[in-house]
Homo-oligomer: A and B are copies of this chain.
Amino acid sequence: MTTPTLRGVATKAGRDAWRTLTELFFDGEAQNRFHQASASIGVSPGLLKGLIHLDTVTGVPMRDLADHFGCDASYVTTLVDGLEEHGFARRDAHPTDRRVKAIVLTEHGERARATAMAVLFEPPACFDVLSTAEQRQLRDLLAKVAAADTTLHEAVPHGLAAPA
């Protein structure tokens, strides 16, 4: 189980920014965007979360998936079973440790992932209130934050952070 990152220190502006961001996600227009995205490729939200964290190049050990998602290993088995049934991923052998299975995306999985991400990454209509200059500002600020998020770049080179 991943330990929560709760510090209790942050500037007022930073707290407000994060709060608004959270509101936008959990109660705004885009509130069920993740559900839409997974529905667009006929999988459950759980499967899409897995799909997003994988890639066609680097096999991710199932144990790492459980750690990343903070879930039980048995659920990872269920997840990977589901991905395999859809033809989206496969279990590869680990080169040195025969206990671990490295999960890699198939090409079919890669395409499904791209489809889902197109839905997921479509900005909500409210973004239109920002001028182009403001949208660039916002993009740059968020990019800086994301670059500092260690979890986001942990083990997966071509993970979610790769440009579409």
For A139, give its contact among B20, B53, B128, B137 (CB under 8 Å): B20
Query: Is A78 positioned at the interface, with any CB of B under 8 Å from its CB?
Result: no
Copies in the complex: 2
Within 8 A of B (CB), among A48-65: 49, 52-53
A residues adjacent to B (C-beta < 8 A): 2, 4-8, 10-11, 13-36, 49, 52-53, 68-70, 119-130, 132, 134-139, 141-152, 159-161, 164
Question: Which B residue's beta carbon lies closest to that of A53?
Answer: B27
A2 touches B32 (CB 8 A): yes
B142 touches A129 (CB 8 A): no
CA distance A33 to B21 in the complex (A): 13
For A24, give its contact among B32, B137, B149, B164 (CB under 8 Å): B149
Q: Which of A22, A52, A128 has the most CB of B within 10 A?
A: A22
For A17, give its contact among B28, B31, B34, B139 (CB under 8 Å): B139
A22 touches B121 (CB 8 A): yes
CA distance A24 to B148 in the complex (A): 10
A146 touches B18 (CB 8 A): no
A26 touches B52 (CB 8 A): yes
Q: Can you list 15 residue pairs at the A/B interface with Cβ under 8 Å?
A: A5-B29, A10-B123, A13-B132, A14-B123, A14-B127, A17-B135, A18-B122, A21-B24, A28-B149, A29-B150, A31-B70, A32-B70, A126-B145, A129-B148, A138-B141
